[in-house]
Structure 1
């Protein structure tokens, strides 16, 4: 089993996600999630569990998309839970994640909402 760099700060997860995605490493991306994490992707559905998240990212990364780092918004911390978020480069919607401190002090994603666009309120 590959030994991956751990996110020792909640904000590290976004950097590690970009690095691993750009390397085509679906297992490395999945390693950023707790075993029973929930990913709100593809849009309109949910992918539940690290194994399913890895399977999803294998398909996504097969197309060799290129990810760019996004500047994090301020992190909100409450004990061992943290809310992290980034504004997408196109300025539409938001990305938000709940991460939890692990027993070794590292952080993993529990909930991930990578794409959210508010409904049109006309």
Structure 2
């Protein structure tokens, strides 16, 4: 993996670890302002308050994440990360739950050299119907 590909993967790993620890401020620091995040298939959010609420709600499930193989592609200042994922957690009433999908994230290299997510779609493998 190139240095830039590794930097892209590090952003994904930082976000995931921070999310599992319910560190929402750190999670938010891995995204550009006005990033689009899909908390459910076909519905993208870009409002910071709604995004914080979504992450807070999911973090309350005490999530534990596992990823399959990571694919990272970098073209100039744009990075793409693709990986299957699973999340195990516990609902507020104590029942175990599992979610999963295909994570597709687009990142952009910032003027300071840092990579941040612009689009985060953890349901990239789902077929959408209109």
TM over 0.5: yes
Q: Deviations over 1:39-62 (max 9, x none)?
A: 122233111144432221011112
Q: Deviations over 1:67-88 (max 9, x none)?
A: 2344311x22221111111123
User: Which of 63, 83, 86 is 2:83 aligned to?
Assistant: 86
Across the aligned residues of Structure 1 and Structure 2, the Cα RMSD in angstroms comes to 2.4
3-state secondary structure, aligned to 1:34: strand
3-state secondary structure, aligned to 2:64: coil
Residue of structure 1 in register with 2:64 after alignment: 66
Answer whether contact 1:18 1:69 (CA < 8 A) is retained. Answer: no
Is there any run of 5+ residues in structure 1 with no aligned partner, and where?
A: 1-7
User: Which of 12, 22, 25 is 1:24 aligned to?
Assistant: 22
User: How far apart, in 2, do the equivalents of 1:54 and 1:118 lie?
Assistant: 24
Residue of structure 1 in register with 2:33 after alignment: 35
Residue of structure 2 in register with 1:15 after alignment: 13
- The answer to whether the aligner puts 1:113 opposite 2:121 as a matched pair is yes
User: How far apart, in 2, do the equivalents of 1:107 and 1:14 lie?
Assistant: 10
CA 67–116 in structure 1, closer or farther in 2 if over 3 Å, else same: same
Which has a greater percent of strand? 2
User: How far apart, in 2, do the equivalents of 1:78 and 1:49 lie?
Assistant: 28
User: Following superposition, which runs of at least 4 residues in structure 1 exceed 4 angstroms of deviation?
Assistant: none
TM-score using structure 1 length? 0.77
Q: How many residues align?
A: 111
Is there any run of 5+ residues in structure 2 with no aligned partner, and where?
A: 1-5, 88-99
